[in-house]
Amino acid sequence: MTGTATTSRAASLVLVASALFGTTGTAQALGPDGLDPLVVGAARVALAGAVLLGLAWARGAFRAAARVDWRVLTAGAAGVALFQVGFFSGVRLAGVAIGTVVALGSCPIWAGLATWAATRRAPGRLWTTATALAVAGVVTLVLAGAPAGGGDGVPLGLALALAAGLGYGVYTVAGSRLIASGQRSDGAMGLLFAAGAVPLVPVLALRWPGGLENAQGWLTVGYLALVPTVLAYLLFGAGLRVLPAPTVATLNLAEPVVAAALGVAVLGEPVTTGGVAGAVLVLGGLAVLALPARGRRTAGRQEPGRQEAGHQKPGDQKPGDPVAGRRTPDRPAPTG
């Protein structure tokens, strides 16, 4: 598979993952009354972490893997936990549409800044342009969906959604660096979510049952754990193996568009001009990243016979990796 085809396939996997992520808020809204958002988030990660780690182990992800950088894993686990607490509480207070778009709309900024802090390399102009367009679209979506006069819980909900975006950005970068250091993508996702479940276990214990005393509550958590977490993050990790973290974070801005569409189709939310304009801006940002891919790959192609450190040769693909290929030239290099 050529470099351009590999990059395009990785971008497609991230977009499919984003579509699955976009069902999260709607699934929670359709769940039974009385669900505690902290319990939902903690139970989701505990179940998903166990499944992801078990799948990675069964597929041999850790047989010949490099040593884990515990600093990176700890930071990523903290990001996973922060996202769950911030996201589910934020959408409960600020609303599904607004909470989702703020959390995910801020993620590329956090991811770009985290990558800059970790590698001392600022994201490129293309990322800046694409992210500016997409974030403008997210802001437009928020303004179009904001309730008249707001509400007492909206400011706190927005702050929690921003914290969720920070967590998302941190564990996106952490996952990228674990993969760059030699971990398989499925193994990296398993490690991150299993470790992220640890600080949430006390939350689950203290607030139990939090709406999980009936089958409907467990059906909601089961869906959230298996579809927009396990399945989505296997696809997400595959894309993260090929694409740099800031690009993945910007591609994930497709999620607010999916969330807004589900709000209209499933929850009966009204269609507004601002909502349509916001969706177009987000898609425009994604197009900026996607359309010039061939030119960027051609410009950054290595000389024959040279291989960048950490890149796999075509015959060195590890079994079970959904996507194999060279990482892009701006891929953050591992540290430690």
| Residues 146 and 206: beta-carbon distance below 8 Å | no
Region 171-197 average pLDDT: 88
| Residues 3 and 292: beta-carbon distance below 8 Å | no
Task: Check pLDDT > 50 for residue 323.
Answer: no
Task: Categorize the per-residue pLDDT at 2 as very low, low, confident or very high, splitting at 50, 70 and 90.
Answer: low
| pLDDT tens digits, 157-171 | 878 888 998 998 898
Note the maximum CA span of the chain: 63
Q: Which two tokens stand for residue 259?
A: 């969330």
| Residues 194 and 99: beta-carbon distance below 8 Å | no
Q: How far apart are CA 157 and CA 49, in angstroms?
A: 26
Backbone phi, psi, residue 118, to 5°: -80, -35
pTM of the full structure: 0.70
| pLDDT tens digits, 254-272 | 887 888 788 778 877 677 7
The residue whose two tokens read 């950005």 is 169
Q: Please tell me the predicted confidence (pLDDT) of residue 220.
A: 93
Kindly compute the dihedral angle of the four CA atoms of residues 52, 332, 129, 286, in this order, to the nearest 10 degrees: -30
Backbone phi, psi, residue 284, to 5°: -65, -40
One DSSP character per residue, 215-231 reads HHHHHHHHHHHIIIIII
| pLDDT tens digits, 279-311 | 788 778 767 765 544 444 444 444 344 343 334
Task: Check pLDDT > 90 for residue 192.
Answer: yes
